Chain A
Amino acid sequence: MSQTNNEPAIESFLPLTPAEFEILLALVDGDLHGYAIMQEVTGRTLGNMKLLPGTLYRALTRMVDKSLIRHVGQPDNVESDDERRRYYQLTALGDRVLKAEAERLSNQVRAAKAKKLIAKPNRA
């Protein structure tokens, strides 16, 4: 394996598990805490993907270890509720991995389209 810097090759992170992908996607728009990540994912996938706490926090722990995300304090613009929460933030590495994964997935989708497996989306 040849590597020029001390950061591991992006490809070594791929493919992401569905949970990892959804979490990274949820963090693109800003820092969120665990429950908010779950809500974002549930809302965006219209309830098709439910992140239960066991899966969510195992994935979060693993992704912090891999430096795809990092812990941050509560952002200032958030109305302080009475509970202290840890927020998660996308790292630069996480951002690159997410893009690479999205690219990989879209290639697969393109291949599927070429084989006429997906109907063209209706444009209003």
Chain B
Amino acid sequence: MPVMKVRFPIYEQIFWLLMRIYPSAFRKANATDMIQFFNDSMRREYTARGYLGIARLFLSMLPDLLMNAFTVRLDRIISLRKLGPSYAADYRLMYRKIRTTGEIMDTLWQDIKYAFRTMAKNPGFTAIAVLTLALGIGANTAIFSVVNSALLRPLPFHDPDRLMMIWGDNPKKDWPQLPVSLPTFFDLREQSKSFASMGGWTQTSFTMTGGTEPEDVLSGIVTSDFFTTMGIQPAMGRLFVSSEDNRGGGPNIIISDSLWQRRFGSDPNVVGKALTLDGRDYYVVGVLPASFKFITYPKDAEIWIPLGLDPFTDRRYARGVSGCGIVARLKPGVTVQQAQAELATISRQLDKAYPGDYANWTARITPLHEQVVKNLKTALLVLFGAVGFVLLIACANVANLMLTRARSRQREIAIRVAMGANRLRLIQQMLTESIVLAGIGAAVGLLFARWGISLIGHIPYNAPNIFTPYNVTAKPAAIDPKVLVFTLAITLLTGLLFGLVPAIDCSKPDLNETLKEGSVKSGSWRHNRARTILVIAEIALSMILLIGAGLMVKSFLRLQEVDPGFVAENAVTLDINLSSLKYRQEERTAAFYTQLLQNVSQLSGVKSVGIVDSLPLSGSDSTTGAFIEGLSAPGPSEKNEVHYRTASADYFSAMGIRMLRGRAFDANEQKPVTVINESMARRYWPNEDAIGKRVALTTESLRFYPDRAPDIDPTLGMREVVGIVTDVKHTSLDSNHVPEMFVPFSQRPQRDATLAVRTSSDVGDLGAIANLVRREVWNIDKDAPVSNVNTMSALLSKSVSKPRFNFLLLGLFAGLALLLASIGIYGVMSYTITQRTHEIGVRIALGAKDSDVLTLVMGQGLRITVIGVAIGLLGSFAATRLLSNLLFGITATDPATFIVTSVVLAVIALLACYLPARRALRVDPIAALKYE
């Protein structure tokens, strides 16, 4: 088999760096081979699993490398004594002897006590270090707890990894995931061999009466294998059986735990009791467990009815009507890829059997877990990366502080080494100190995290919609044992990370230098180099975070500038759901809404009122094929897909949608007319006037038969274009404009619709207006449920809550990073200037001007800043790529953001240099020289 010689230069570099934990002799002997080993493994993992494989590889190899490097170093320390094998053996015995538990605890306890004493002696240092670490660890804990609850917690179903959703995929459509038609579901279930079982689901709503007030309840329509596929056991009673998939079964329903509690007061004998839905009695056969939540859009489904009771009786013949979702469970041993390949084959066979219905269409598998987390994953991983950077910066800062302090302890340590103290013992003691410090930081950090989680917990991450009707944050993020283990792990890691460099550094003091009297201030270059590198790293990391945050801010502002196509201010909306039984005749529905519109428009404060079946930004939408007279070939044409709404005459004025040409509907429109949007006019009649052209919607052109699939006859649904309105952002502000058609509400009255009310002044009291409208509804029909009272401004704001969340948090972390990095650079500059006091004094004595001294001192700061910014820029080019999916209207390498951020960071860094530099000017030459 030819093996591709892929190389991974970056990872190879990382591995080379990792090799430095080995002693140089071992490294010289083995590094080349080990890198090659690593490359081979990486190729294999990359081929098998992609970048995930590489991540796994690093995770599995890291502990192995660390442990072994430690052992090799220990062996070397022992053999370096060059006292022969017997000595080494003795040492091993000694070593084993030391390691009796009691003695280990004694040493540890001693070290901990010592650590606390040292910290108490330097309260300023301790406070700053603890606070820095607490911010870093707290931010990480908070974000991890969200990642934990959203991405890591298994879904509450039996063996959730084998649960799959199946959707229609047609690259020519606007939605990536399309429901399928019921006949398609039957075909897939029958022909596929990859699944142990497959269940179909769709939804409808009922008006439940018999309680205190009429209530609109969402109901799932499911095939009998839906619950068994999910692996659900009923809490009470039974699930549906296969005979209930066919018509003619009894009126049996299954209810949710919440409805059982609310409506039946948790009655243990609920099975067999009746519920009145749309005026008809249904009998409860089972109750679902409280943990089961599946359809949550537009609200939680509380009633489940079998397919046999589906009110839409034509569904099983309509291959073009797509409203079914599919849940399937993979057979053990079958991979997602195999199942997908099989579905692709079946899709092509369907295309052959039913030409036209399945053009470009493929049944596509999405694992349930992926379905649930897909929008969330990138944002959370980016935030997780960001807090990781913040923690690294915090570590660099504390390491710098410890280096400074170690300088002042150098004499103490030198004396101990000179007296024969064991180096390992010294390192151990200092590491204990840093881990204790990290531990205190973590304790405070947990408090920060709790506060942070309560802040994040309110944000709706993944608003469920009709295609992803499942809310992952049903269980809010919290600090659970897994999170605590994570915090403990990063605390230990943090302690080691910021403690190791200073510990190793000061455990090998240059005895001659240090013990000489008065040489404390001559900072060795080695110390300064470590500190400088740490600060450069801080600047570079902050740079990456700042650019990320900058991109998010700019993208959010762009989003805010988008014209939604309607006027959001002063518009209130309410959902009304009329019972399907009482309003079976369309005339009744039409009469109800005509009356309602008339009554509401007379309320004081109401400027205009309209009605529509799917409101912009509400998550509801409907599409259908369209026949364009003179353009389309006769017959069904999926490629002319349009989004269509049913709207009343005043809907456009109530929503502030501008009429560009032509007219809106008449209040009692009799002629078959339609209003289209700009995009539709532009797509189909680019060089002509669209007014007067004729279009037919597939849904209005269906001719149904009792026992076979419907025909399409465009003459049935032909409508004339009478008006053109501005484009409206229907799904979200960042969506593209799509062809949209409006048909008169009076001609296609919908039982479930949304009332849009434009008020004359700012809606001071939303509740008052809503109550007035609600009273008007109940004046006409006391059983009509009103729900979902909103303002368009609130809907607009909610629609950008996710990008706002991303930019606020990333901005917060970037700010934190900037603050810590500024403190870092300030610290290093102050330290350097203190060290160079003597030199500066001499220069001033010899006549150096203020500007000369400033240039001298600032030069160093400038160098550090420029290197840090440059590295940060390079890193940003690589890192912001991950953000591209979260951005709107700008690229991930937006030059303006990169330039502005670099300048801002450089200015702040230079300011952090300038403050201590000014101190250098005040150096008194006499005092400085005396100091010698």
Contacts and interface: CB of A to CB of B under 8 A. Distances in A.
A58 B71 contact: yes
A33 interface: yes
Contacts, number: 51
B668 interface: no
A76 to B, nearest CB: 20
Interface SS of chain B: helix
B27 to A, nearest CB: 10
B71 A52 contact: no
A53 to B, nearest CB: 5
Contact of A38 (B37, B65, B72): B37
A61 B37 contact: no
B40 interface: yes
B71 A53 contact: no
A29 interface: no
Contact of B36 (A35, A60, A61): A35
B29 A85 contact: no
B157 interface: no
A79 to B, nearest CB: 12
Interface string B502-520: 0000000000000000000
- Across the A-B interface, the 4 shortest Cβ-Cβ residue pairs: A54-B68, A52-B64, A54-B64, A54-B65
Interface in B13-62: 26, 29-30, 32-34, 36-38, 40-41, 60-61
A34 interface: yes
Contacts of A34: 33-34, 36-37
Contact of A55 (B33, B38, B64): B64
Given A52-B61, A52-B64, A86-B33, A58 B72 contact: yes
Interface in A32-91: 33-35, 38, 52-58, 60-61, 82-86
Nearest to B29: A61
A63 to B, nearest CB: 13
A56 B29 CA distance: 14
Contacts of B691: none
Contacts of A35: 36-37, 40-41
B5 interface: yes
Chain A binding site: helix, strand, loop or mixed by DSSP? Answer: helix
A95 B810 CA distance: 61
B211 to A, nearest CB: 60
B67 interface: yes
Q: Looking at chain A, what size class is its interface with the partner chain?
A: 10 to 19
A57 B71 contact: no
B880 to A, nearest CB: 33
B61 A54 contact: yes
B69 interface: yes
B33 A82 contact: no
B38 A53 contact: yes
A46 to B, nearest CB: 17
B493 to A, nearest CB: 18
Given A34-B34, A35-B40, A54-B65, 19 more contacts: A33-B33, A34-B33, A34-B37, A35-B37, A35-B41, A53-B37, A54-B64, A54-B66, A54-B67, A54-B68, A54-B69, A55-B68, A57-B37, A57-B68, A58-B71, A61-B26, A61-B72, A82-B5, A86-B33
A88 to B, nearest CB: 10
Interface residues of B, number: 22
Contacts of B26: 61
B210 to A, nearest CB: 62
Contacts of B36: 33-35, 83, 85
Interface string A83-121: 111100000000000000000000000000000000000
A85 B32 CA distance: 8
Contacts of A33: 33, 36
B64 A53 contact: yes
Contact of B33 (A52, A54, A57, A58): A57
A60 B66 CA distance: 17
20 contacts: A35-B36, A35-B41, A52-B60, A53-B34, A53-B37, A53-B38, A53-B41, A53-B61, A54-B61, A54-B66, A54-B67, A55-B64, A55-B68, A57-B34, A57-B37, A57-B68, A58-B68, A60-B30, A61-B72, A82-B5
A34 B38 CA distance: 10
B33 A85 contact: yes
Nearest to A62: B75
Nearest to A58: B68
A53 B61 CA distance: 7
Nearest to B65: A54
B421 to A, nearest CB: 29
Contacts of A61: 26, 29-30, 72
A52, A56, A61 interface centre (most CB from chain B within 10 Å)? A52
Interface string B248-284: 0000000000000000000000000000000000000
A10 to B, nearest CB: 18
Contacts of B32: 84
A57 B61 contact: no
Contacts of B33: 33-34, 57, 85-86
A108 B64 CA distance: 29
Nearest to B67: A54
A52 B69 CA distance: 13
Contacts of B40: 35
Contacts of A56: 37
A86 B29 CA distance: 10
A55 B26 CA distance: 13
A86 B67 CA distance: 24
Contacts of A53: 34, 37-38, 41, 61, 64-65
Contacts of A86: 33
Name the residue in A54, A56, A57, A85 with the highest tally of chain B Cβ atoms < 10 Å from its Cβ: A54
A14 to B, nearest CB: 17
B472 to A, nearest CB: 34
A53 B69 CA distance: 11
Contacts of B72: 58, 61
- Among A35, A38, A53, A82, chain B packs the most CB atoms within 10 A around the CB of A53
A82 B4 CA distance: 12
Contacts of B68: 54-55, 57-58
Interface string B62-94: 001111110110000000000000000000000
A33 B39 CA distance: 14
A60 B37 CA distance: 13
A38 B66 CA distance: 19
A52 B64 CA distance: 7
**Among B30, B33, B64, B71, residue most surrounded by chain A Cβ atoms (within 10 Å):** B33
Nearest to B70: A54
A55 B36 CA distance: 15
A33 B34 CA distance: 10
